[in-house]
Amino acid sequence: MAQKILSIDLDGVLNNYQGKYDASDIPEMKDGTFEFLQKLSIQYRITICTARNKNLVKTWLIKNNLMQFIQDITNKKNPYSSIILDDRAINFDGNFDKAYTNIQNFNPYWENKSCKDS
């Protein structure tokens, strides 16, 4: 049986991105990233989805010994992904009122005061 595809956003998920985008520099890898991808790669084909330059991302993945877990780097969400992991996403559970409220109140986790204090 083929592995399911898991699309993972780079900034704010695998690295310590805090909203200050620099096109020529990718922030440091978040603690636990290696083990996280290693574990996921057993069950999933992992795709990195990012707006960043593909060559810069590949270099960053190689530098951090992560490329071994990655099947593809793309700037498009894969419609065949079973799961998308992103720091700027809201899960839709069928309730439009709840979705509207979640959209109106949304902040990525790294903008929340409790995350900045830790």
Q: Is the pLDDT of residue 117 over 50?
A: no
The whole-chain average pLDDT of the chain stands at: 91
Per-residue pLDDT tens over the stretch 47-64 = 999 999 999 999 999 999
Question: Which pLDDT value is given to residue 115?
Answer: 52
Q: What torsion do the CA atoms of 68, 65, 31, 35 make, to the nearest 10 degrees?
A: 40
The pLDDT confidence band at residue 114, using thresholds 50, 70 and 90, is low
Residue among 82, 81, 102 nearest 90 (CA): 102
Question: Which pLDDT value is given to residue 80?
Answer: 82
Cβ neighbours of 43 (radius 10 Å): 11
Specify the DSSP element, H or E, that contains 9: strand 4-9
Distance CA 74, CA 43 (A): 20
Q: Domains in the chain, start-ordered, CATH in brackets?
A: 1-16+28-86 (3.40.50.1000)
Question: Which pLDDT value is given to residue 30?
Answer: 95
The pLDDT confidence band at residue 35, using thresholds 50, 70 and 90, is very high
pTM for this prediction:
0.85
Backbone angles phi, psi at 6, to 5 degrees: -120, 115
Q: Is the pLDDT of residue 116 over 60?
A: no
Backbone angles phi, psi at 23, to 5 degrees: -60, -20
**Strand pairing class (44-49; 70-74):** parallel
What's the rounded mean pLDDT across residues 23-47? Answer: 96
